Each structure stands twice: as C-alpha cells, then as structure tokens.
Amino acid sequence: MASKIFLVAQREYLENIRTKTFWIGILALPILIAISIGAGFVLNKLKETKTYAVVDLSVAKLAPRIEKQARSTDMAGLARLLAAKPDLAKAFEPIAKDFGSDLAKWKPTEGDGKQADHELPEELKDRMLEAWLQMPADDLARMAEGNQGLDTAKKFRLRSLQDLGVAELPVEEQQKRLGQMVKQGQLFAYFVIGADPTKSLEDFRYVSNNFTEESLRKWYGDAATKIVQNLRIAAAGIKPEVARTLKEEVRFAQKQSDETGTTKDVTVADKAGGFAPMAFVYLLWIAVFTAAQMLLTNTVEEKSNRIIEVLLSSVSPGELMAGKIWGIGATGMTLTLSWVLCAAGGYLIAESTIQGMDLSMFASAIDPLYLASFIIYFFFGYLLYAAILVGLGSVCNSLKEAQNLLQPVFIVLIVPLVSMMFIVQEPNGLFAKVLSYVPLFTPFVMMNRAGGPPELYEYAITGVILLASVWFAFKAAGKVFRVGVLMTGNPPKLKEILGWLRQS
C-alpha cells in the first residue's frame, strides 16, 4: 500500500515541478516583494525638488531665522560630512571661503545628529546657511546623494523673491504673481509670515495647489513654530533656561526585561521581531491556500477527464487520495522552501551591497525559530485543508462547481487575516488564545503569536488538537472521496454526504 501511495505522490509531484508555470509562480512572489520594498526607495529618489518662496510681513523679519531653524539639521549634517570628506568642500569654495578654517577646527563628537547640531557654533551655522542658500541646485543634489543628514537638500529649495523678480512689487501684487507661479508649476508653494506672530497667527498662510503632499508645509511649519514660541517666551519675560525646562517633552525610554527582571534597551530588530509573525502569516496563508487549491483543481480536472477511473484500476481510492495529498504537499513544501531561500539570499545580498542601511529589522526573516515554526505549521495546515478540499473536489464534476464550494472555505481562511494585527498586538490575549484552539485557525494564529511567545503548554495542547483534527479530516475525506470520486451527474446533497460519513 505504501509503495502505491508513494508512486501516486511521485507522479503528482513530478507532474507539477516539471512545468514552467510552477517555477514562474515560485519566482513571482519574491519578485513582487522585492519590487514592493525597493519601489519606495526608488520612487522617493525620483521625487522632484519642491521649490518654495516666502513673503515675510513680520516686523522682526523672521524668514531668515525660520530658514535657519528648518535647515539646522542639514547644517549639522553638512558640517559632519565636510569634516569627514574635505574633497566635497570644493563645491563651497566659490562662495564660502571664509568658514573653511572654522570648520576645520570643529570636530563633531560621536552620537546622533542632535548632539552635533548643538555643538556647531551659531556663527558658523549662519555663514554655512548663507552659502547653502546660494549654492546651485545641482551641487546641492550631488552632495545630498547618498549622504545621511542632508535629507532636505534635495527635497526643498528656497527661491528668493529677488530671484523670482517680485521683490520690488507691492505685497498684494507679490502674492498674486507668486500664486500664478504656483498655478503654472514654477513654484510648488509659497508661505506668508504674518505681521506680529507674538499676538496672532491668523495671517500666516501656505499657498499650494497640491493638497496631498504635506511634507513641505509640516517641515517649514515645525521650524516656524519653534521661532514663534521663542518670540513669545521672550515677550513674556521668561528666561530661556526656564522656557526650555517648561517645553521639555516627557519621553519614556523604552526598555524590555528578561526572566531575571533585568532591563535592557529595545532595538529596531526587537520591534521588527514583534511584527515579523505577520509577514510569516501572510506567506503561510498564501502557501496553504495555493497548495490546497492546487489539489482541489487537480482532483476535479482528473475526475472530469475520466483519468481518475484509469488510476483507480491500479490503486484504491484511499491510496489515490493519500498519494495526491502527499504529492501536492511536497510541491507546496518545495514552493515554501524556495521562498525561504529567496528571502535568506535577498537578505544576505542586501547586507553586502547596501551601505549605511540598517537591515536589522529584516533579520527576523531568517530567524531559525520562525522558519521552523513556519514549515511545521505549513505542513499541518496544508494537511488539514488538503483533506477538506480533496473531499470537496471529489464530489464536483467541474471547476465551476468546485469554485462555488470553495467560497465557505475561503471565508474561514479570511478570519486569521482580518484578526492578524489585533493578535500581533495582544499575542497572549484572550481572543488570540481562544482562536488558537480552533483547528482551522490554529496554524495561522499560533504562527501569529510566535512573537509573544505562547507558553510551551499551549504549543503542546494546540499541537495535539491539530494532529487529531488532521487525522479526523483524513478519515472523513477518505469516506467522501471513496464514493464521490466515481459519481457523475448532479453533485450530491449535504444529507447524502453526511450519510457517507456515517458508514464504517
């Protein structure tokens, strides 16, 4: 019996992997994932520089101070860059010869950009900003390319009113001309700074015809907010150090504890590891559904083509069903292992080729624990759904009938997907625990909870329940398959199928 099951399984497996469409299907998913990940980086680089102008109506002429505040991180990043790569300073030579010696004396300390920003002398920042605003856009883009800390250099570009030819016009005419430039695409937007921000902000305006891209308005608005706050603090007679204390935000340092109660820092990899099960659940869902649907389609096609009758002349219905399940299961496992290898290969290639990018968030993709759980749950999840679908396929005479019967199964399979985000946030909550003990959901929910992780006894209990469910599904599917696979004409009614299940 075992040899016949093996022969049937071998036939099913080889019949699938020999086709070009199978290997195209294997490559399609990794390619789609790579495109979806890489598209964000590529498209972000393709974004055009947003040019803007500023109409400053304030008595104190706040525009230069706001621009300096907005570009302060850029200035610190530029200072670090020029200190590390003096050859790039050549782009500044025609307009910034006077601050080269001061920059040479400044040495940034190790740490984040904020620390270096505070250490950079204000006078040096002023001169660097002046040179920065006079630099040609091409030079700025070249310096920003691939250099962290110069993010806004390519994103936003200030156009002076003199450069636009509207500096000498009356205020109303200025804004009218700038509005026409926005309409014609010569400017992305322009800002209007009100007359007295210490009293009112009603005359502050942002004019743009793009209502979906908010990055420029938020970036410039955050800088303007800090300047206006400082003005109001000064007008109220509050000392700067007192104001800094009052404005300081409460930020709880995020820590995690181990079994001994000792705390340690939470890394990017730790956060990614908590959400990594979601990616595995998606892949598990796709793998189980693809393999099980492949089995359903195969069964219906062979039955409608009368091939099933030829096969049954050599093997029993039970042997044929078992061979089909194991053969297409091996096909699904090949599909799954290929995806795992693609993910591991993609991670290793990215790690060796992409410089300066933190890939620790993707390390969970090749975590042995997650990979082992994925393969185990795929195996048992596939067997459970394969038994159900091969039984359904045996009573159908066409793919149309099979697709109709597949809808209830598809509805069941949707539940783990719609509850995925909730479960990953509360992996050991009551809802997640209850779903873990429902056999049809067990593979997906337990995989989703892997970041928790569940207690060992939960793995043991759900494992036993899943094994028992697979055994029962095989017994029930065998009874239905034995009778239904040779039936023709109208599909049997539910009452008839229940009658077959009662037979010994």
Q: What is the pLDDT of residues 256-313, one digit of tens each?
A: 776 776 777 766 666 666 666 777 787 778 877 777 777 778 788 777 777 877 777 7
C-alpha dihedral (18, 24, 29, 30), degrees to nearest 10: 90
**How far, in Å, CA of 185 to CA of 208, rounded?**
10
Claim to verify: residue 26 and residue 55 sit in the same structural domain: no
Q: Which of 213, 247, 281 is the last residue of a domain?
A: 247
Among 221-230, 244-253, 459-468, the least confident range: 244-253
Claim to verify: residue 65 and residue 206 sit in the same structural domain: yes
Claim to verify: residue 24 and residue 96 sit in the same structural domain: no
Asked if residue 101 is part of any domain, the answer here is: yes
Q: Which of 247, 277, 308 is the last residue of a domain?
A: 247
Asked if residue 37 is part of any domain, the answer here is: no
CA 294 to chain CA centroid, Å, is 29
String of DSSP letters for 260-305: TS-EEEPPHHHHHHHHHHHHHHHHHHHHHHHHHHHHHHHHHHHHHT
pLDDT of residue 180: 93
pTM of the model: 0.61
Asked if residue 296 is part of any domain, the answer here is: yes
Beta strands in 84-217 (DSSP E): 156-158, 189-193, 205-208
Claim to verify: residue 236 and residue 292 sit in the same structural domain: no
Asked if residue 288 lies in contact with residue 381, where contact means CB atoms within 8 angstroms, the answer is yes
Q: Please give the mean pLDDT across all residues of the chain.
A: 77
Residue 224: pLDDT band with limits 50, 70, 90: very high
Claim to verify: residue 27 and residue 141 sit in the same structural domain: no
Claim to verify: residue 227 and residue 336 sit in the same structural domain: no
Asked if residue 326 is part of any domain, the answer here is: yes
54 SS3 class: strand
Claim to verify: residue 16 and residue 84 sit in the same structural domain: no
Query: In this structure, are strands 255-257 and 205-208 parallel, antiparallel, or unpaired?
Result: unpaired
Average pLDDT over residues 32-47: 71
**How far, in Å, CA of 237 to CA of 234, rounded?**
5
Asked if residue 423 is part of any domain, the answer here is: yes
In sequence order, the 6+-apart residues with CB closer than 8 A to the CB of 97 are none
Asked if residue 9 is part of any domain, the answer here is: yes
Claim to verify: residue 422 and residue 479 sit in the same structural domain: yes
The label of the residue with tokens 């649907």 reads 293
Beta bridge partners of 416: none
Residue 92: pLDDT band with limits 50, 70, 90: low
**How far, in Å, CA of 437 to CA of 18, rounded?**
38
Among 163-172, 254-263, 332-341, the least confident range: 254-263
Claim to verify: residue 57 and residue 24 sit in the same structural domain: no
pLDDT of residue 140: 56
Residue 221: pLDDT band with limits 50, 70, 90: very high
- H or E segment at 405? helix 399-418
Claim to verify: residue 15 and residue 79 sit in the same structural domain: no
**How far, in Å, CA of 411 to CA of 428, rounded?**
25
Asked if residue 420 lies in contact with residue 448, where contact means CB atoms within 8 angstroms, the answer is yes
Domain ranges, residue 363: 2-32+269-502
Residue 114 scores a pLDDT above 50 = no
Beta strands in 107-262 (DSSP E): 156-158, 189-193, 205-208, 255-257
Claim to verify: residue 394 and residue 494 sit in the same structural domain: yes
Asked if residue 182 lies in contact with residue 188, where contact means CB atoms within 8 angstroms, the answer is yes
Asked if residue 255 is part of any domain, the answer here is: no
Residue 44: pLDDT band with limits 50, 70, 90: low
Residue 95: pLDDT band with limits 50, 70, 90: very low
Average pLDDT over residues 133-147: 56
Asked if residue 44 is part of any domain, the answer here is: no
- Structural domain total, the chain: 2
Claim to verify: residue 197 and residue 121 sit in the same structural domain: yes
